[in-house]
Amino acid sequence: MKKAIIFFCCFVLIICAVPVTQARALYNQVLETIPHYADIILLESLDDGSVIFEKNADVVTPPASFTKIITAAIVLKNCKNLNTVITVPEYTIRMLDGTNSSNVGLKPGEKISVLNLLYCLLVPSANDAATVLADYVAGNMDKFVDMMNDYVKSIGCRNTHFVNPHGLDEDGQKTTANDMMKIVKEAMKIPLFVKITSNENYSVPATNLSGIRKLNSTVLLMNEGYKDYYCKYASGIKTGSTTGAGRCVISKASKDGYSYLAVIMKAPFEDIDKDGVNENCALVDCKTLFNWTFDNIKLRTVARSTQIISEVPVKLSWSVDHVQLMPKEDVLALVPSGINAGSVLIDVVEKSVPESINAPVKKGQEIAQARVLYAGEEITRITLVSGEDVDRSLILFIGSLVRSLASTVAFKIIAAVLFLFAAAFACLILYSRLHRRKRKRLRVLNYRDIQGK
């Protein structure tokens, strides 16, 4: 406990003293000082999307049973009646022969509802439920896999590809922590998915078999063995493990109004406490990161609407030549405990600031954008608004209209035409006068000629 207190105090002092380091990098520096075991880690706030920890989040890796999240989402989006009872095709069971994989023991010819298959899929992570559901929804594995890949592309995944609906290691089956974060967030929008994955156990009636098939979730079974290594605030969404993927877990945790989602992948299965029993290190890391985050990361006001951030010149006003820019509203952000507004920087986005604005200006009028930086990293972008009303001068406004009119192409064309017309008219008058003088001179000469005769 003393070491933890000393470490946290040092961490806060480091953050305050080195504001130019990126926040995420600082959190990852903390990660390097905390015992952890997974190669891939991503912890994100479900409240505002802030990334707390990120380690190799774009590294491609096998998805293991995380694949079943997509399988469930496809089923839930395409099956209107989940109480439909289907018959288990033999080929869907035979294709798993020899894999020694996680199954619930579905039998060819067994009748079971789509809903109960979903519980089999997500609670004990049954591969046989995955193949049966895929066959029911698409008619065969290949078509269902195409549906999976189309779906993940549609939600913005760029490094994920599936070749089967269950997650066993296979060439071409891949994902990343960042993609899985997108996938899980989409799945969590489906209420029934959340309900099923929140179950620790569930009983499924086996209509063709004797008795009741009782499903125990992988998370529950692991918790029973590793209670000291599981965050009590977490609710398991999915676990998985294959040779290629290692131990994996996706879990949500909530406490005191804060909610986070963790994606842990490629963790080992080893005896970390030397008690002769191997531990699932994905769960160990999950607990460590959740507990650290709940203890040390808090929502704080990092910018207030009364702060003067910048100013911009104002035209068409006699009384004011600049207007002050302030945040549109108070800004809240997740930062380490003890950090306040003095630890952040608000940086105006230069391209968003006009060279000047014309009066009238209303208090609260949106004018520019700014970045809120904590330890050098952009936390969020905010809108800057005018801090006061500015009235317009009618005389300056009319003068501005005249200047604006004079600068238009249409005005210049009309002016040029008028000038040419005036010049032509002047030339015509000049010609007319010259012609009259010439005629007058001729008349005088003619008169003299007549007098001489």
Q: For position 447, what pLDDT does the model report?
A: 53
More confident residue, 275 or 424: 275
Q: Which of these, 347, 342, 385, 350, lies nearest to 364 by C-alpha position? A: 385
- Asked if residue 10 has pLDDT above 80, the reply is no
More confident residue, 80 or 374: 80
Average pLDDT over residues 429-452: 66
Confidence of residue 227 (pLDDT cuts 50, 70, 90): very low
- Asked if residue 191 has pLDDT above 80, the reply is yes
Arithmetic mean of pLDDT over the chain: 82
Whether 241 and 269 have beta carbons less than 8 Å apart is answered as yes
- Asked if residue 300 has pLDDT above 90, the reply is no
pLDDT of 170-185, one tens digit each? 999 999 999 999 999 9
Q: In degrees rounded to 5, what are phi and psi of residue 261?
A: -125, 130
Q: For position 219, what pLDDT does the model report?
A: 37
Average pLDDT over residues 309-323: 91
- Asked if residue 206 has pLDDT above 60, the reply is no
Confidence of residue 363 (pLDDT cuts 50, 70, 90): very high
More confident residue, 35 or 19: 35
Whether 213 and 105 have beta carbons less than 8 Å apart is answered as yes
Q: For position 323, what pLDDT does the model report?
A: 93
Average pLDDT over residues 263-272: 94
Cα distance between the two ends of the chain: 141
Query: CA of 374: how far to CAs of 39, 302, 325, in Å?
Result: 27, 9, 20
- pLDDT above 90 coverage of the chain, percent: 50
pLDDT of 22-65, one tens digit each? 345 456 667 777 889 999 999 999 988 888 899 999 999 999 99
Q: For position 169, what pLDDT does the model report?
A: 96
> Torsion angle of alpha carbons 148, 152, 157, 159, nearest 10°?
0
* Amino acid identity for residue 342 in this structure: G
pLDDT of 79-108, one tens digit each? 999 999 999 999 999 999 999 888 988 999
Q: For position 374, what pLDDT does the model report?
A: 73
Confidence of residue 375 (pLDDT cuts 50, 70, 90): low
- Asked if residue 209 has pLDDT above 60, the reply is no
pLDDT of 382-395, one tens digit each? 999 999 999 887 87
Query: CA of 110: how far to CAs of 18, 76, 93, 138, 431, in Å?
Result: 64, 21, 11, 19, 112
Token pair for 237: 């969404």
Average pLDDT over residues 337-341: 60
Whole-structure pTM value: 0.72
Average pLDDT over residues 57-77: 96
User: By mean pLDDT, which of 11-25, 29-43, 275-289 is the weakest?
Assistant: 11-25
Q: For position 232, what pLDDT does the model report?
A: 64
Cα–Cα distance for residue pair 22/41, rounded to 1 Å? 18
